[in-house]
Amino acid sequence: MVIEEVKRQLDTQHLLATLTVQVEDAIRFLASSMAGGQGMGSISGETTLEAFVVGQLQVSRAAWEAGSAAAVRQHVRLKHLAALYRRLEEQATGKSWLGEVPAAYKVPLSAEADGALRQAAPQLADGEGLLALLRQVLEGRYPAGGNLRETLEAVGAEDEDAALLPASLLLSHAGSVYALLEGLS
């Protein structure tokens, strides 16, 4: 899992702080470009963070390599920025966002549901979007007995992504689904 490799490689507070600043700079630049109506041109969610930081933010390659982890340089794309930022924040504070979610929403997945989600994950059109919606659902504290797929569709999940989720999943599984999908991204 890329996120766990990043966590192992960010073993010093200095490296963690340096990478966090670079990720924050990337997020600010993207947000200001979009807010200013400039668009992103040839930049897409598939652009590597490394290509963006070195090319668009004009950070020297030496500075980028000194302030990042090999797993970040090799695997992280712009579509992963939100998840990476959350992980950096969790590592810096020692608190996990998912740890704050009530146990009623972290019912373990059956082996069948786990396998179906692992198979579906590569087919998701917007995996980061689905994770954001799962967070929204978990923070909104919808009734744990509700259907997960139907709730996600109601809050705006792409139909094709929601359809990949097993129909039997309840909101009580949302935390486990989130943890699994985040780990696979």
| Shared domain check, 139 and 85 | no
- Taking only the tens place, the pLDDT of each residue in 71-111 is 888 888 888 888 788 888 888 888 877 888 889 999 999 99
Q: Is the pLDDT of residue 113 over 80?
A: yes
- Taking only the tens place, the pLDDT of each residue in 8-24 is 666 677 788 888 888 89
| Shared domain check, 154 and 110 | yes
d(CA 159, CA 57): 35
C-alpha to C-alpha distances, 158 to 25, 61, 67, 149, 150, nearest whole angstrom: 29, 37, 36, 11, 11
| Shared domain check, 117 and 165 | yes
The domain boundary residue, chosen from 76, 95, 114: 95
| Shared domain check, 14 and 60 | yes
Q: Which domain holds residue 142?
A: 100-184
The domain boundary residue, chosen from 72, 95, 118: 95
Neighbour count for residue 14 (Cβ, 10 Å): 10
What pLDDT is attached to residue 38? Answer: 60
User: What average pLDDT does the chain have?
Assistant: 83
What is the pTM assigned to this prediction? 0.63
The domain boundary residue, chosen from 95, 125, 150: 95
- Taking only the tens place, the pLDDT of each residue in 32-58 is 876 655 655 667 888 899 999 999 899
Instruction: Report the number of distinct structural domains present in the chain.
Output: 2
* Residue 177 β-bridge partners: none
